[in-house]
Chain A
Amino acid sequence: MQTVNLEKENYKQLLKRFIEKNDEETLYKADLFSKESIRQNVTPDEIIHVYIQALEDLYPDLPETFRRSLDFLLETMISYGVAYKEFQEMREEQLEIKSELALAAKMQEKLLNTRVPEIKGLDIGAISIPAKQMNGDYYHFIEDHRGNLGVAIADVIGKGFPAALCMSMVKYTMDSFPESRMLPKRILQLLNRVVEKNVDPGMFVTMFYGLYNPDSHDFYYASAGHEPGLFYHGQHGVFTEIEAKGLVLGVERDVTYKQYKRRIELGDMIVLLTDGVTECRRGERFLERDEVIEVMKQYTHLPAQQMVERVFRYFEELQDFQLRDDFTLIVIRREN
């Protein structure tokens, strides 16, 4: 790779050549010159200065009026140079903050880390991708001593760092629950109290909690205002919404949650998600829920982990690879 010579002399030669030949090649070289200048922190007013000097060298007999006009140009660029310096400083600070955040995000990942359990008769897939560095979504799997599978999926309303801290608190609260009390309605009730007491008004948490009994294949669940998930009926190949009502965590002190129950048949799936999935946008328009379902349908034949990954890829591409919200998707399929 050729390196660009940032000498004034080089600039002068480029300028001379362009004036004589008016060619694209020199413009290309000028482009490389300016990229290199940026890399070496050269400010815009300094470039103008180099230009004026080169021009004076090439044309020693410039009319005085024209010469003065160049001084005028330089003068009007000085403030841009100052602004540019300020911008560079801010950029450096930002890079520092970013690397701190990256560290924090790594810690958070460790804190919130949950293993997808291996349970006979269930095929489970999960994916959770933050839009920014810190994830305001959370999911968690727990197995109790009777072999039941507990699954939590939650979303903090609010983004970034505060949301992530809030999630860590939710996780620790859940870890402290005794294993024997894993009924969804009970868990939400307890969590609600903790969130209400400890979290700023204005920050809310939605959560769906489910308990799967792998012997009876009954699925018990309750929701605290969480984005409705989906049941997939393997036999008919249709998705239906999981209906569950309940108040968002942290709004009122004493809330009781309604608990629902459903039998899961062979080939059925439980799909849990956050609004990062359903609020994907195509351009300016939100996707309809039906469209989300159509996308899922394309991938139902895949193993659960592949299915969630493919659905994510699809939505990532749809949004030009810039997620607007944290994205979490869990699929639990009953299989032989």
Chain B
Amino acid sequence: MNSQSCVNIEKEWDIVSARQLGRNLARKLGFGTVDQARIATAISELARNIYLYAGSGEIYFDIVEDHPKKGIRIRAIDQGQGIEDIGKVMKDGYSTSGGLGAGLPGVKRLMDEFHISSVPGAGTEVEVVKWLR
């Protein structure tokens, strides 16, 4: 079962759909309630970034297997303005909200794996994985 699902992010409401889809998939995979909530929160952050900074984009969900591990993978892809200095953005306390535990560093903490690549002017791609334990 490696079917991929996708949610288009254009309106704020789409963030909710993405959370819902991710949470359901996580539950089906066997994640507990706390992890389900963590995954939904991470999706929220990624989707909000697309909504706020790129205007529109997609969030893809699928199941990854790395024997014997199994997990959920989420990819947030957009063709927006991109991020100039990723090193800076990944430092705590940089996010515009200035909040703790928020933004992309927060997503990194919520998930097990985190990869980001971005080309200024061309778009951003963030891939995260949470493993089932």
Contact = CB atoms under 8 A, between A and B. Distances in A.
Contact of B86 (A28, A35, A321): A321
A39 B114 CA distance: 25
Nearest to B52: A1
Given A35-B99, A38-B101, A321 B40 contact: no
Given A31-B44, A320-B116, A24 B102 contact: no
A317 B117 CA distance: 8
Contacts of A13: none
A39 B97 contact: yes
A179 interface: no
A321 B16 contact: no
A24 B23 contact: yes
Interface in B31-74: 37, 40-41, 44, 52
Nearest to A25: B16
B91 to A, nearest CB: 9
Given A28-B15, A317-B117, 17 more contacts: A24-B16, A24-B20, A25-B13, A28-B19, A28-B44, A31-B41, A31-B44, A35-B102, A38-B99, A39-B97, A91-B93, A320-B115, A321-B86, A321-B90, A321-B116, A322-B87, A323-B87
A39 B100 CA distance: 7
Given A316-B87, A320-B116, A27 B100 contact: no
B107 to A, nearest CB: 13
A284 to B, nearest CB: 14
A27 B36 CA distance: 12
Contacts of B114: 320
Contact of A35 (B16, B17, B97, B116): B97
A27 B16 CA distance: 9
A28 B16 contact: yes
Interface in B92-117: 93, 97-102, 114-117
B86 A27 contact: no
B23 A39 contact: no
A107 interface: no
Interface of B: 13, 15-17, 19-20, 23, 37, 40-41, 44, 52, 86-87, 90, 93, 97-102, 114-117
Given A320-B115, A322-B90, A27 B19 contact: yes
A165 B98 CA distance: 31
Contacts of A39: 97-99
Contacts, number: 45
A95 interface: yes
Contacts of A28: 15-16, 19, 44
Interface residues of A, number: 17
Contacts of B37: 27
Contact of A38 (B15, B100, B116, B117): B100
A322 B87 CA distance: 6
Given A24-B23, A25-B16, A321-B116, A95 B87 contact: no
B22 to A, nearest CB: 10
A321 B117 CA distance: 9
Contacts of A317: 117
A31 B86 CA distance: 25
A157 B115 CA distance: 30
A231 B101 CA distance: 47
A28 B115 CA distance: 24
Contacts of B20: 24
A1 B51 CA distance: 11
A24 B115 contact: no
Most chain B CB within a 10 A radius of its CB, from A24, A27, A322: A24
22 contacts: A24-B16, A24-B19, A27-B19, A27-B40, A28-B15, A28-B16, A28-B44, A31-B40, A31-B44, A35-B97, A35-B99, A35-B102, A39-B97, A39-B98, A91-B100, A316-B87, A317-B117, A320-B90, A320-B116, A321-B86, A321-B87, A321-B90
B93 A95 contact: yes
Contacts of A31: 40-41, 44
Contacts of A95: 93
Contacts of B100: 38, 91
A38 B115 contact: no
Contacts of B15: 28
